[in-house]
Amino acid sequence: MADVRDVTYELLRSHDLTTIFGNPGSNELPFLAGMPDDFRYVLGLHEGAVLAMADGYAQARGGPALVNLHAAAGTGNALGPLTNSVYSHSPLIITAGQQVRSTIGQEVMLANVDAPALPKPLVKWSSEPACAQDVPRSISHAIHIANLPAKGPVYVSVPYDDWAQEAPAEAQHLLARRTSSAGSLSNSQLAELTAALDGAERPVLVLGPEVDAERANGDAVRLADRLGAPVWIAPSASRCPFPTRHRGFRGVLPASVQGITDALSGHDLILVVGAPVFRYHQFVPGEYLPAGARLVHLTSDPGEAARAPVGEALVGDVKDALARLANAVAPGLRPELPPLPEHPVAASAGERLNPAELFALLREHAPEDAVYVKESTATTGDFWAQMDLSEPGSYFFPASGGLGFGLPAAVGAQLAHERRQVIGLIGDGSANYGITALWTAARYRIPVIVVILKNGTYGALRWFSKVLDAGEAPGMDVPGIDFVQIARGYGVDATSVRTGAEFTEALTGALGAGKPVLIEAETELTEP
């Protein structure tokens, strides 16, 4: 009979989970030793970077990723990045090694005393199987839960002596099991929503990350065109669900109650698709909606639907709903929107690059289908003003705002993409949270390009101190960091630039390098 370990590898293989992100400890060795040849182990030097790499990989490939953490300590190291994964609905199957089953209650070294509770509430489901024979079924359970709407991370703790135990014969049935969601809007729900859209004088669409995750971008464009409606991206955007140079694109909504109300003023029907209502950040109180406006919310996440403070919610398949609505609404009821103005002129004024100029140069010289993983909050406004994003899966940002996502996620995203160039746009304040991912990029020759926007401070904090009228606070500057030397120490080629010409030359060289490259760009301080 096969043992638990062999059956588990068969199960993972059947779900195309043959890449394992991890940093091993003694509890994990019995599972990892003698790993099958068709599996790939991607080593990270810290579990925070490991988790974020897996997150970027999962989002970029549009499927699950497997993470192997070391006991309680490794799980704790990964909890910060996990705050992003839960809000990006990343289907991460996280396993953690546990001490020998009979010793856990003694709280021996490396025992995870209450393992299922440790990652909560940042996972959809967590478990430590009651016996070794239930390990394959528990991991199967985790895989299905992670991939069902609303997708998200799951966690299974496995005592390391379980792997050598005999697996039950019925575990073979797990290999062929598949689950999928069949939740779509009913015909009556679709008809009612279609009538509301057709009857509205000034409808507006607000699109969220789920639209991009489900590759429903094209359906959203068709719906916007037929309605003649402007389109906003929902606040705190972690993905780009709509082409940024489409005539209907209006930008990213501000992340405050009053800011959203002001931006949507004059619209009588607000259709929010694939986003929470709303991910507020700055506390600027006001009315939730403009006077006389009706809000309808489409999402696959019952939690998002239930916790919204305003509006009507329909829970179902977002891609299916957008496609059917695009076919159902009446075209030509409203005048065509005027084309967008040209990109604003971007130029640097001093000895450092203005981020807007850097983004304009990226737009000009980077591949049209490049993927951007961004973690430079202070440059958000310049980024959206300058970039031309039209392909699905072109933009990723930490969904919960937790620093440490960007650099490792860029490495993971590039690992998922053989044909698209991934470019990480990382602030110098956030880069240090995930800097060890550079070693992984070098070790596996992952050809990601990392651009460090170096202004010597936490720029977003400086802006937020103005919002809060808080004045100067300690700990907002990060001077004296040499990212070129750090990158070279990890085995990554690196260079520093100050001008647009220098950046263009460095970018051109990096695009043809076939290996990871870091560009440290000395930039001016800007505000989001």
Q: What is the CATH number of the domain that holds 478?
A: 3.40.50.970
- Assess contact for 377 and 387: CB atoms under 8 A: no
Distance CA 67, CA 256 (A): 35
Please state the φ and ψ torsions of residue 441, each to the nearest 5 degrees: -60, -40
Regarding predicted confidence, which is higher, 340 or 112? Answer: 112
Which of 150, 176, 202 finishes a domain? 176
Q: What is the DSSP string of 186-248?
A: -HHHHHHHHHHHHH-SSEEEEE-HHHHHTT-HHHHHHHHHHHT--EEEPSS-SB--S-TTSTT
104 and 8 housed in the same domain: yes
Q: Which residue in the list 144, 281, 343, 365 is annotated as catalytic?
A: 281
Amino acid 59: pLDDT: 99
Taking residues 381-390, what's their average pLDDT? 95
Residue with tokens 């009588």: 268
Amino acid 274: pLDDT: 98
Strand pairing partners for 132?
none
363 and 307 housed in the same domain: no
Which of 146, 176, 206 finishes a domain? 176
Residues 448-475: pLDDT tens digits? 999 999 987 776 666 666 666 777 777 7
Strand pairing partners for 156?
95, 127
For residue 331, which of 434, 432, 222, 410 has the smallest C-alpha distance?
222
Distance CA 435, CA 486 (A): 9
Amino acid 456: pLDDT: 78
Is 26 tagged catalytic? Answer: yes
Residue 214 banded pLDDT, cuts 50, 70, 90: very high
Strand pairing partners for 127?
156
Residue 231 is assigned to a structural domain of this protein: yes
For residue 297, which of 286, 284, 308 has the smallest C-alpha distance?
308
Residue 181 is assigned to a structural domain of this protein: no
SS3 state of residue 520: strand
Give the max Cα distance, the chain: 72
Which of 118, 150, 176 finishes a domain? 176
SS3 state of residue 98: strand
Residue 332 banded pLDDT, cuts 50, 70, 90: confident
Residue 21 is assigned to a structural domain of this protein: yes
165 and 253 housed in the same domain: no
Taking residues 107-134, what's their average pLDDT? 96
Q: Which residue in the list 15, 28, 214, 500 is annotated as catalytic?
A: 28
Q: CA angle, corner 221, sides to 318 and 200, nearest 5?
A: 80
For residue 202, which of 289, 274, 294 has the smallest C-alpha distance?
294
Taking residues 227-251, what's their average pLDDT? 97
Distance CA 496, CA 506 (A): 9
Q: Which residue in the list 401, 402, 434, 459 is annotated as catalytic?
A: 401
Amino acid 468: pLDDT: 66
219 and 284 housed in the same domain: yes
Amino acid 358: pLDDT: 97
Token reading at 287: 């009315």
Is 70 tagged catalytic? Answer: yes
- Give the structural domain span for 376: 355-522
Amino acid 458: pLDDT: 73
Residues 430-451: pLDDT tens digits? 999 999 999 999 999 999 999 9
Amino acid 462: pLDDT: 67
Q: Which residue in the list 15, 46, 56, 70 is annotated as catalytic?
A: 70
318 and 367 housed in the same domain: no
Is 102 tagged catalytic? Answer: no
Distance CA 70, CA 440 (A): 18
Token reading at 252: 């990213």
SS3 state of residue 55: helix
26 and 79 housed in the same domain: yes
For residue 510, which of 498, 495, 521 has the smallest C-alpha distance?
495
DSSP state of 131: S
Its pTM surpasses 0.85: yes
86: alpha, beta or left? (left if phi > 0; alpha if psi -120 to 50): alpha
Q: What is the CB-side half-sphere exposure of residue 407 using CA atoms within 13 A?
A: 32
For residue 220, which of 133, 303, 329, 314 has the smallest C-alpha distance?
329
Residues 475-513: pLDDT tens digits? 767 788 999 999 999 999 999 999 999 999 999 999 999
Residue 135 is assigned to a structural domain of this protein: yes
Q: Which residue in the list 15, 22, 25, 400 is annotated as catalytic?
A: 25
Residue 288 is assigned to a structural domain of this protein: yes
Residue 345 is assigned to a structural domain of this protein: no
> Lowest-confidence range among 3-17, 174-188, 483-497?
174-188
Token reading at 182: 């069949």
47 and 172 housed in the same domain: yes
497 and 375 housed in the same domain: yes
Is 365 tagged catalytic? Answer: no
Distance CA 46, CA 78 (A): 8
CATH of the domain at 257: 3.40.50.1220
SS3 state of residue 31: helix
Regarding predicted confidence, which is higher, 377 or 493? Answer: 493
Q: Does pLDDT of 49 surpass 70?
A: yes
154 and 133 housed in the same domain: yes
Taking residues 303-317, what's their average pLDDT? 97
Residue count of the chain: 528
User: Number of folded domains in the chain?
Assistant: 3
Amino acid type, 162:
D
For residue 456, which of 527, 524, 379, 503 has the smallest C-alpha distance?
524
268 and 388 housed in the same domain: no
Residue 337 is assigned to a structural domain of this protein: no
Residues 139-163: pLDDT tens digits? 999 999 999 999 999 999 999 999 9
CA 427 to chain centre: 17
Burial of 172 (0-12, 13-18, 19+ CB in 10 A): middle
316 and 399 housed in the same domain: no
Q: Does pLDDT of 518 surpass 90?
A: yes
Residue 350 is assigned to a structural domain of this protein: no
Is 28 tagged catalytic? Answer: yes
266 and 374 housed in the same domain: no
- Assess contact for 353 and 526: CB atoms under 8 A: no
Q: CA torsion angle for 441, 442, 447, 449 (degrees, to 10)?
A: 70
Token reading at 142: 């985790």
Distance CA 366, CA 489 (A): 27
Q: Does pLDDT of 119 surpass 80?
A: yes
Q: Which residue in the list 47, 304, 357, 524 is annotated as catalytic?
A: 47
Give the mean pLDDT of the chain. Answer: 95
Type and span of the H or E element at 19: strand 19-22
